[in-house]
């Protein structure tokens, strides 16, 4: 179905092509980057990423049947002492792959890396309150809503709210046992 491989400089042009408005950039990355997204911003992002002790691991999403890079996902703010991290920058950028039910598999692959490979205890995320498909996905995947952060991001003259959500390793394992790994990639 899909696999995650570390995001590299060769993947930068594809990612930039998917981020086409300032609003979408904020929805994808929060305030981590500025519009327009550039090679330089992503090279800086990658400089300390994807090493054994990195606080960020960025991944490209590869659709196995077509061998195409179809998206991006990151595990950031990794704290090995407290055994937690943040899932962020989740994107299915390839228009032909949107709406195909791949998102649960992508999220599960990242959670597998977080909990099995890195031995983390908790993964959290932020999702804007208007992003109903993502909210439903994260709830389906076992994430719990910890709270609503009101008017946290300024976009032009508007302010956006986001939900803080998280999942613990034991909750993820219970979900896998209940519905089976084959249903989550």
The tokens of 119 are what? 């031995």
pLDDT on residue 147? 99
This prediction has a pTM of 0.95
pLDDT on residue 178? 85
Cβ-based neighbours of 64, under 8 Å, separated by 6 or more = 1, 2, 3
Level-2 CATH architecture, domain 2-183: 3-Layer(aba) Sandwich (3.40)
pLDDT per residue over 94-143, tens digit each? 999 999 999 999 999 999 999 999 999 999 999 999 999 999 999 999 99
DSSP-assigned beta bridge partners for residue 5: 60
The domain limits of the chain are: 2-183
Share of the chain above pLDDT 70, in %: 97
pLDDT per residue over 38-47, tens digit each? 999 999 999 9
Q: Supply the mean pLDDT for the chain.
A: 96
Please give the angle made by the CA atoms of 111, 117 and 121, to the nearest 5 degrees. Answer: 60
Using CA atoms, how far residue 9 sits from 39, 56, 81, 135, 156, in Å, is: 8, 15, 29, 30, 30
Rounded Cα gap, residues 19 and 27, in angstroms: 10
Rounded Cα gap, residues 45 and 49, in angstroms: 7
């Amino acid at each position: 179905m899909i696999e995650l491989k570390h995001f590299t400089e060769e993947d930068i042009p594809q990612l930039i092509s998917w981020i086409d408005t300032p609003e979408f950039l904020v929805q994808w990355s929060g305030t981590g980057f500025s519009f327009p997204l550039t090679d330089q911003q992503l090279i800086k992002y990658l400089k300390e990423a994807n090493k054994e002790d990195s606080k960020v691991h960025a991944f490209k999403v590869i659709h196995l049947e077509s061998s195409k890079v179809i998206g991006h996902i990151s595990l950031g703010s990794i704290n090995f002492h407290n055994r937690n991290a943040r899932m962020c920058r989740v994107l299915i950028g390839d228009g032909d792959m949107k709406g195909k039910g791949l998102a649960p598999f992508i999220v599960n692959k990242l959670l597998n890396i977080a909990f099995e490979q890195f031995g983390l205890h908790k993964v959290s995320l932020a999702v804007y309150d208007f992003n109903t498909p993502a909210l439903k996905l994260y709830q389906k995947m076992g994430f719990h809503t910890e709270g609503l952060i009101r008017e946290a991001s300024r976009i032009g003259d508007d302010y956006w709210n986001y939900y803080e959500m998280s999942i613990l390793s034991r909750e993820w394992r219970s979900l896998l046992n209940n519905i089976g790994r084959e249903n989550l990639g």
